[in-house]
């Protein structure tokens, strides 16, 4: 019994140590953003806790920069990308999972193979396409590349395959069409995977820097990562404000994960929420 307790104690201490190591960059970021203007952020030895905590960096961040505009743009783009991805990927995944037609496996293989293509390869053709469509310097140009992803289609197809066919047959007896089966049976059954996909799409769109940098020239349309890049320059650089901007950019993603983790992680009784 004592050996078991000792083993569990060691595991707990190691887990706490690993968690602290993982959290250290975030804690250091928050600490830097809260340090006063008279504190040396490059002090040796390093000082984690601010001697004179101050929110002056956050005040200056919002006063001297159109950060609210960047936040609104990021929220709009990320939200539209999530909605479009859930809709289009689920609509495409359903026939690939349930309908039998010639070339189904080939279509799936070709779609999944696009995951291996780096974005930098398709960036120039995609840019030319946006210019021809008149979408350059628009938020819609940021949404379209994220509107449907091969990862999302594959994830939802695998989720739909795990749904018992009896549920579809029951819905069909009740008079549901294929669209009705998709909406009333597949979507509720794949809730956990849909939420997982939503989180992946939101995080990737929220943190995307390269594509907005290529397609946008108007500062009024900048998303948060692109706007934060403007905080540093050759002639002016305040690491406190940069750290404050980084904390602001992390908070929405962290909040989203905290709010949605109960839908995608096993509950305390050990039963998965999924299904």
Asked if residue 33 is part of any domain, the answer here is yes
- CA angle at 231 for the pair 244 and 47, rounded to the nearest 5°: 40
pTM score: 0.85
Alpha-carbon distance of 261 to 267, in angstroms, equals: 10
Contact criterion met (CB below 8 Å) for 64 and 39 = no
Asked if residue 1 is part of any domain, the answer here is no
Query: 82 with 35, same domain?
Result: no
* Cβ neighbourhood burial of 19 (10 Å; 0-12, 13-18, 19+): exposed
If we measure between CA atoms, which residue out of 184, 201, 173, 166 comes closest to residue 94? Answer: 184
pLDDT in the model for residue 269: 34
| Placement of tokens 């602290």 in the chain | 20
Angle of helix 104-113 relative to helix 67-98, nearest 10 degrees? 150
Per-residue pLDDT of the chain (275 residues; tens, 9 = 90+): 778 888 888 899 999 999 888 888 888 889 888 888 777 777 777 777 888 888 888 998 898 889 999 999 999 999 999 999 999 999 999 999 988 888 888 999 999 899 989 998 999 999 999 999 999 999 999 999 999 999 999 999 999 999 888 888 888 888 888 899 999 999 999 998 999 999 999 999 999 999 999 999 999 999 999 988 887 764 467 888 888 999 999 999 888 888 888 876 554 333 433 33
DSSP state of 115: G
Query: 46 with 112, same domain?
Result: no
- Write out the two tokens for 177: 């069409």
What is the full DSSP assignment across 193-232?
HHHHHHHHHHHHHHT--HHHHHH---GGG--HHHHHHTT-
SS3 109: helix
For 62, 111, 194, 195, 228, the CA distances from 75, given in Å and listed in that order, are 17, 28, 19, 17, 15
Total number of domains in the chain: 2
Query: 43 with 131, same domain?
Result: no
Asked if residue 111 is part of any domain, the answer here is yes
Contact criterion met (CB below 8 Å) for 242 and 64 = no
DSSP state of 144: G
Task: Give the count of beta carbons closer than 10 Å to the beta carbon of residue 209.
Answer: 13
What is the number of H-type helices and E-type strands within the chain? 14, 0
Q: Which domain holds residue 36?
A: 24-54
Query: 81 with 135, same domain?
Result: yes
pLDDT in the model for residue 236: 61
Query: 39 with 79, same domain?
Result: no
């Amino acid at each position: 019994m004592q050996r078991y307790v000792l083993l569990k104690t060691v595991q707990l201490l190691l887990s706490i140590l690993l968690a602290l190591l993982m959290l250290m960059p975030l804690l250091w970021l928050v600490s830097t953003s809260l340090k006063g203007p008279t504190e040396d952020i490059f002090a040796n030895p390093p000082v984690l806790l601010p001697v004179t905590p101050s929110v002056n960096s956050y005040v200056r961040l919002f006063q001297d920069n159109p950060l609210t505009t960047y936040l609104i743009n990021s929220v709009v783009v990320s939200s539209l990308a999530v909605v479009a991805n859930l809709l289009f990927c689920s609509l495409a995944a359903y026939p690939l999972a349930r309908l039998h037609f010639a070339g189904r496996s080939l279509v799936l293989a070709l779609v999944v193979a696009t995951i291996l293509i780096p974005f930098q390869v398709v960036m120039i053709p995609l840019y030319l396409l946006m210019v021809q469509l008149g979408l350059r310097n628009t938020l819609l140009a940021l949404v379209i590349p994220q509107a449907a992803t091969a990862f999302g289609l594959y994830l939802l197809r695998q989720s739909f395959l795990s749904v018992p066919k009896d549920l579809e047959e029951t819905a069909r007896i009740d008079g549901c069409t294929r669209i009705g089966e998709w909406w009333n049976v597949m979507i509720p059954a794949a809730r956990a995977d849909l939420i997982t996909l939503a989180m992946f799409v939101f995080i990737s769109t929220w943190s995307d820097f390269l594509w907005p940098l290529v397609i946008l020239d108007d500062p009024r349309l900048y998303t948060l990562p692109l706007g934060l890049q403007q905080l540093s320059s050759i002639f002016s650089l305040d690491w406190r404000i940069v750290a404050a901007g980084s904390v602001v950019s992390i908070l929405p993603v962290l909040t989203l994960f905290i709010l949605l983790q109960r839908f995608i992680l096993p509950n305390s009784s050990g039963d998965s929420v999924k299904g």
